[in-house]
Amino acid sequence: MERTVLTQMKQDRPIKEKVKEEKLKRELALLEAALYVAGRPLDLKVLGSILKTRSKRKVQRLARMLMKEYESRNTALEILELKDERFVLQLKAEYTPQVRRLVKRPLLSTGPLKTLAYIAYKQPVSQMRVIAVRGRHAYAHIKQLEEMGLITREKSGRSSVLRTTSYFADYFGLSHDIATMKRQLKKVFNQPTSQ
């Protein structure tokens, strides 16, 4: 009888390992799906809610596993770990110029994009200055940009001071350091557009 129990336990071990392996594959697939659908950086709390776990350590371990898997695939997509315990699935920078024209719906229309570019390049900049340069329609742009999490607004006397957020830097692949970001933007602004 004792022999039968040991034999049964040995046979059950591969089944348990297969179940564990299937669970891991499903969790990685859920993380991948969440990052793909979001199209923006997601923090560990949001990713944990998808996996139905509160363990940030588990979510971070799984996200890093998926990140390594993408590195080994050597494809046009990559998963990056950003500051503040966030992860993003994105196109590698070297592929962007060749496929940019295929994007059907831009993040922003031309007006708000120009207002955002001005804020990013001149930051920190007063709201009054932005309105003076961009016109009264920029009030709506500023509201939209703030709602999208691309800029912050801080009260300063009768006006507000506008700055870009870390989400802005991550989304556009720019440095979080303002001086470096401004140099990067200057290069982008000086590039000839191809259409």
From 97, 115, 135, the end of a domain falls on 97
Along the 195 residues of the chain, how does pLDDT read in single tens digits?
455 655 555 566 677 788 888 999 999 999 999 999 887 788 899 999 999 999 999 999 999 999 999 999 989 999 988 877 889 888 887 887 787 777 666 667 889 999 999 999 999 999 999 999 999 999 999 999 988 889 999 998 888 999 999 888 877 778 888 888 888 888 877 765 544
| pTM beyond 0.85, yes or no | no
Q: Are residues 58 and 128 in the same domain?
A: no
82 and 120: one domain?
Answer: no
> CATH number, domain at 79?
1.10.10.10
162 found inside a domain: yes
Domain check: are 138 and 66 in the same one? no
In sequence order, what are the residues at sequence separation of 6 or more whose Cβ sits closer than 8 angstroms to the Cβ of residue 50? Answer: 30, 31, 33, 34
Residues 112 and 185 in one domain: yes
Residues 80, 91: Cα–Cα separation, whole Å: 10
123 and 185: one domain?
Answer: yes
Which of 79, 97, 115 terminates a domain? The answer is 97
- Beta-ladder partners of 81: 87
State how many domains the chain has: 2
What residues make up the domain containing 77? Answer: 19-97
C-alpha distance across the termini of the chain, in Å? 79
